[in-house]
Amino acid sequence: MMKKKTLVIGASEKPERYSNKAIKALRKHQHPVVAIAPRAGRVDDVEFDTGKLLYDDLDTVTLYVGSRHQSGYYDYLIDLKPRRVIFNPGTENDELAAQLADNGIEVQEACTLVLLSIRAY
């Protein structure tokens, strides 16, 4: 299986949060993970960055930030040039999705946890 470097935006140390579960599941499937959060923290071996770093070789960005908090990420996501961006349930945003698609970035409205569980990630 190909390892897909993934950026989790909206990471949380709280175990009940889906971003936390996603980081654990991605690592369990041996995907390299980087994460951005409003405050420093970590989940397992993944330390959160609090700034918008320009990561190399990103395959996927998976969003856990609601649409009303995404406006500051539009240009950043385009600059990252990932292969795809996953809008997890509750993060759907037609405006951002259109801009990503216009820049050749695949848009997927899906659940990262489900994609991993059915081996469709």
With 0.85 as the threshold, say if the pTM is over it: yes
pLDDT of amino acid 2: 87
Q: What's the domain range around 69? A: 6-117
Helices (H) and strands (E) in the chain — how many of each?
4, 7
For residue 83, CA distances in Å to 10, 21, 68, 75, 115 come to 19, 22, 24, 15, 16
pLDDT computed for residue 72 by the predictor: 94
Count structural domains, the chain: 1
Task: Establish if 28 belongs to a structural domain.
Answer: yes
CATH classification of the domain holding 28: 3.40.50.720
What tens digit of pLDDT does each residue of 5-34 get? 999 999 999 999 999 999 999 999 999 999
Q: What is the mean pLDDT of residues 105-117?
A: 98
Q: How confident is the model over 94-110, as a mean pLDDT?
A: 98
The contacts of residue 68 (CB under 8 Å, 6+ apart) are none
Tell me the C-alpha distance between 48 and 114, whole Å: 23
- Asked whether residue 92 is domain-assigned, the answer is yes
pLDDT above 70 covers a percentage of the chain that reads 99
Asked if residue 1 is part of any domain, the answer here is no
Instruction: For residue 81, tell me if it sits in a domain.
Output: yes
